[in-house]
Amino acid sequence: MEHYQKRIEASSLRDQMYIADYRMDWTRRTLLKIGLGAILFGGSFVAKVWAKAKQILPKGFPKNKLLNMNPAEIDNRNLEVDPLNQFGTMGSTDIVIDSKTYRLKISGKVDHPLSLTYDQILKYPSSTETVLLICPGFFSNNGRWTGVSLKSLLREAQIKKEAQYLEVIGEDEKRTRIILKELDQKKIFLAYRVNGEILPRKHGFPLRLVYEDAYGSEWVKYVKEIVVE
């Protein structure tokens, strides 16, 4: 909590009320988890819960306060979804990809390399999640992202037992490396829609990596290949 207090200075009575509500909610929930953990598993469990506990921000939390916060420390369940026309952008914004000739390649440590068309990707089971993207100091986008699970794609490619990582590569050669076990712990998938609309070109059409808890610089746009390592 000391870390949080240093980062947020209430400039008005309204901000003070937001912060007070947040502190009470976060502290109460965290202490309940820690108390139960101490009873069941002892001190080591307490340390793990404390380290992983996220700050539950209240509805209406000021967007300008989010800009310098770490997405890995935020629980965004109460935050409003931002309108798409208010989303900020970063990196490449004008790469044009024809959905008819597009292919998503999956290679590396897999038994069955894949080359999927856009239409094939759309036929996979989809999921929709509200995930917060933060570009430190510039903007935050809390969006409803719809797309295909990376686990589904990797399951079809049949990754080898020794595989530990995957690298997601964009058309502009931007890339992000992800530990495979994180796919079971976080919301990490390839989005083709946002807020109910087809992913706009400036946001990475046809596919954008959605990466919960990671800064926006890790959210690769215009995804063209996944290499399993």
State the pTM of this model. Answer: 0.78
Last residue of a domain, one of 44, 75, 106: 75
Above 90 in pLDDT, residue 152? yes
Number of domains in the chain: 2
Of the two residues 35 and 94, the one the predictor is more confident about is 94
Residues 104-140 pLDDT 10s: 999 999 999 999 999 999 999 999 999 999 999 999 9
- Same domain (yes/no): 27, 104: no
Q: Which domain holds residue 191?
A: 84-228
Decide if 63 contacts 140 (C-beta within 8 A).
Answer: yes
For tokens 């290949």, what's the residue?
A: 225
Which of these, 75, 25, 21, 29, lies nearest to 50 by C-alpha position?
Answer: 29
- Same domain (yes/no): 96, 27: no
Above 90 in pLDDT, residue 51? no
- Same domain (yes/no): 216, 129: yes
- Same domain (yes/no): 70, 92: no
The DSSP secondary-structure symbol of 70 reads -
What integer pLDDT is reported at residue 26 of this predicted model? 46
- Same domain (yes/no): 117, 176: yes
What integer pLDDT is reported at residue 52 of this predicted model? 60
- Same domain (yes/no): 44, 92: no
> Sorting pLDDT into bands at 50, 70 and 90, what band is 53?
confident
Task: Please state the rounded mean pLDDT for residues 23-36.
Answer: 46
Return mean pLDDT, the chain: 85
Last residue of a domain, one of 75, 102, 123: 75
- Same domain (yes/no): 63, 109: no
Task: Please state the rounded mean pLDDT for residues 29-50.
Answer: 43
- Same domain (yes/no): 192, 215: yes
b/e burial code for range 137-161 (CB count within 10 A of at least 16 → b): eebbbbbbbbbbbbeebbeebebee
Last residue of a domain, one of 36, 56, 75: 75
> Sorting pLDDT into bands at 50, 70 and 90, what band is 15?
very low
- Same domain (yes/no): 193, 151: yes
What does the alpha-carbon distance between residue 182 and residue 174 come to, in Å, rounded to a whole number? 20
Here the tokens at position 9 are 């200075």
CATH for 170: 3.90.420.10
- Same domain (yes/no): 118, 12: no
Residues 157-190 pLDDT 10s: 999 999 999 999 999 999 999 999 999 999 999 9
**Which range has the worst mean pLDDT, 33-37, 122-126, 182-186, 216-220?**
33-37
Beta strands in the chain (DSSP E): 55-56, 74-75, 103-108, 114-117, 126-135, 139-149, 165-170, 175-179, 188-194, 197-198, 208-211, 223-228
- Same domain (yes/no): 67, 91: no
Task: Please state the rounded mean pLDDT for residues 191-210.
Answer: 98
- Same domain (yes/no): 181, 101: yes
